[in-house]
C-alpha cells in the first residue's frame, strides 16, 4: 500500500489515509490575487507559522458545482531565502522556489499531485520566463517541549510523484527551536544581527517565542548571543533538494530517498 500523504490543520500535521481517495470533482484550482488570503491560510495551518516572499500563489478550493466555497490548500512559489540556490541547483537565476505547500487534512490521498500539476500549469502561464522550480523537503521531525509531534518530517514523496530530479541533500546545520517546535528563522536571525530591514519584527517574534527582551543599549548581536542558548538546539541533517527544469539541460537525478 502507498504511504499516506502529509496534511495540515492549525499547525499540526495529519496523514491523509490511503483508503480516502481524492475526488477531483469536489475541488478547483485558481491563482490567488495578492498575499492576504494565502498568507492567512499558511500562517494558520503550516507548522512554521511563517510565509515566504511570494511571486505567485495558487489555491485549491473546495467547490460545489462551479461555486467556490473555501480554501483547502495553497502552493506558494517564492523568492528563495538564499538567492544563490537557484543558479546552484537550477543552473539559472530565472526560477522560483516552491516555498510552501499546505493542504488541509480533508484533502484525500493523491490530492497533492493533482493540485501541484495544475499549480505548475498556472505558474508557467503566469510567469512564462521561468526555467524551473526548486523545492526542499525537510526530513527532521519537530516536537514541542511537552513532547507533542508537530511534524514527522518528510522525504518529498509528492515531488517524486511529479518526476522531480533529486539532487541530494543541502548542508547540515544547527537549528534553534522554540517551545512549540518551530524553527527560529535563520533569515530573521541574520536580519537581527545586521540590523537589516525587517529586523525589529523578527526580534519581536523571538521575544514572543520566549526570549528575554533586549536590555537598554544592548547591541542586537550581543542580545542574540545571550538569549539563543536558552532555546533548544538540534542538528539538522540537511533538506532534500528537488528541481523541475522546463528548459535547458535536464539535471541527472539521484535515487530517490525513501520514508522510513
Q: How is 29-69 classified by DSSP, letter by letter?
A: EEEPPSSHHHHHHHHHHSTT-----EEEEEEEEEEETTEEE
CB atoms within 10 A of CB 21: 12
Q: Return the higher-pLDDT residue of 153 and 203.
A: 203
pLDDT in tens, 31-89: 999 999 999 999 999 888 889 999 999 999 999 887 888 999 999 999 998 889 999 99
Bridge-partner residues for 137, per DSSP? 240
CATH superfamily of 5-170+236-245: Gcn5-related N-acetyltransferase (GNAT) (3.40.630.30)
Residues 6+ apart with CB under 8 A from 210: 178, 179, 230, 231
- With contact defined as beta carbons under 8 Å apart, do 115 and 22 qualify? no
List every span in the chain annotated with CATH 3.40.630.30.
Answer: 5-170+236-245
Half-sphere exposure of 7 (CA within 13 A, CB side): 23
Q: Which three cell numbers stand for residue 164?
A: 522531480
Give, for 70, the enclosing helix (H) or strand (E).
strand 67-78
Model confidence pLDDT, tens digit, residues 168-207: 999 998 889 988 888 887 888 999 999 998 899 889 989 9
> For residue 73, which of 118, 15, 35, 112 has the smallest C-alpha distance?
112
Quote the pTM value: 0.85
CB atoms within 10 A of CB 240: 25
d(CA 25, CA 66): 10
> Which cell numbers hold the place of 38?
494565502
8 A C-beta contact, residue 21 and residue 110: yes
- Average pLDDT of span 118-128: 97
Q: Which residues pair with 135 in a beta bridge?
A: 242
d(CA 183, CA 15): 22
Amino acid at each position: 500500500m502507498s504511504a499516506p500523504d502529509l496534511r495540515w490543520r492549525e499547525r499540526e500535521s495529519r496523514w491523509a489515509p490511503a483508503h480516502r481517495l481524492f475526488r477531483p470533482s469536489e475541488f478547483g484550482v485558481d491563482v490567488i490575487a495578492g498575499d492576504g488570503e494565502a498568507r492567512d491560510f499558511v500562517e494558520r495551518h503550516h507548522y512554521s507559522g511563517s510565509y515566504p516572499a511570494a511571486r505567485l500563489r495558487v489555491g485549491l478550493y473546495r467547490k460545489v458545482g462551479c461555486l467556490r466555497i473555501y480554501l483547502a490548500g495553497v502552493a506558494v512559489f517564492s523568492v528563495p531565502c538564499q538567492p544563490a540556490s537557484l543558479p546552484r541547483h537550477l543552473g539559472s537565476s530565472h526560477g522560483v522556489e516552491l516555498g510552501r505547500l499546505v493542504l488541509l487534512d480533508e484533502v484525500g490521498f493523491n490530492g497533492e499531485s493533482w493540485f501541484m500539476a495544475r499549480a505548475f500549469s498556472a505558474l508557467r502561464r503566469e510567469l512564462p520566463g521561468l526555467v524551473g522550480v526548486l523545492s526542499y523537503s525537510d526530513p527532521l521531525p519537530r516536537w514541542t517541549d511537552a513532547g507533542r509531534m508537530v511534524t514527522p518530517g518528510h522525504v518529498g514523496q509528492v515531488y517524486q510523484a511529479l518526476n522531480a530530479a533529486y539532487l541530494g541533500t543541502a548542508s547540515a546545520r544547527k537549528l534553534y527551536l522554540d517551545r512549540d517546535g518551530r524553527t527560529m528563522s535563520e533569515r530573521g536571525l541574520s536580519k537581527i544581527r545586521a540590523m537589516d530591514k525587517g529586523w525589529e519584527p523578527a526580534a519581536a517574534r523571538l521575544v514572543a517565542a520566549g526570549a528575554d527582551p533586549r536590555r537598554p543599549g544592548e547591541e542586537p548581536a550581543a542580545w542574540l548571543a545571550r538569549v539563543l542558548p536558552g532555546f533548544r538546539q538540534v542538528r539538522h541533517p540537511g533538506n532534500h533538494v528537488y528541481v523541475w527544469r522546463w528548459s535547458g539541460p535536464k539535471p541527472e537525478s539521484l535515487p530517490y530517498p525513501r520514508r522510513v
